[in-house]
Amino acid sequence: MEQSERRKIEEVSEYCGVSSEVIFHFIQEAWIRPQDQNIPLFDDEDLARIWLIQELRDDFGVNEEGIPIILNLLDQVNRMHLEVERLKKELN
């Protein structure tokens, strides 16, 4: 698997249209998990989660308590999808 580019918080803030403080809040809440939280660098998966969180908050009106529930459910669905794909390959 090719490693995606890692971006600094300033780049992510500008790209996603959210302040660095908001991104740090997302990290503090464990909604996004950069590999090194002391010097956070963000990959494509982190950017997708930031976009998703913003969409949940701004477009769908999801409150702070609902976001981790939705993220957890989506993570579970993604893990199940990966497991199904793994099992398909194993059977072939």
Distances from the Cα of 63 to the Cαs of 32, 53, 56, in angstroms? 17, 10, 8
Residue 52 covered by a domain:
yes
Question: pLDDT digit string (tens) for 83-92?
Answer: 999 999 999 8
Question: pLDDT digit string (tens) for 21-74?
Answer: 999 999 999 999 998 778 889 999 999 999 999 999 999 999 999 999 999 999
pLDDT of residue 35: 82
Distance CA 83, CA 68 (A): 22
Residue type (1 letter), 82: L
78 against 38, higher pLDDT: 78
Residue 53 covered by a domain:
yes
Residue 27 covered by a domain:
yes
Domain with 84, as residue range(s), is: 7-91
Residue 60 covered by a domain:
yes
CATH number at residue 72: 1.10.1660.10
Tokens of 65: 């308590």
Distance CA 33, CA 48 (A): 12
Residue pair 27/40 in contact by the 8 Å Cβ criterion: yes
Residue 83 covered by a domain:
yes
Distance CA 83, CA 62 (A): 29
pLDDT of residue 3: 55
* Number of domain units in the chain: 1
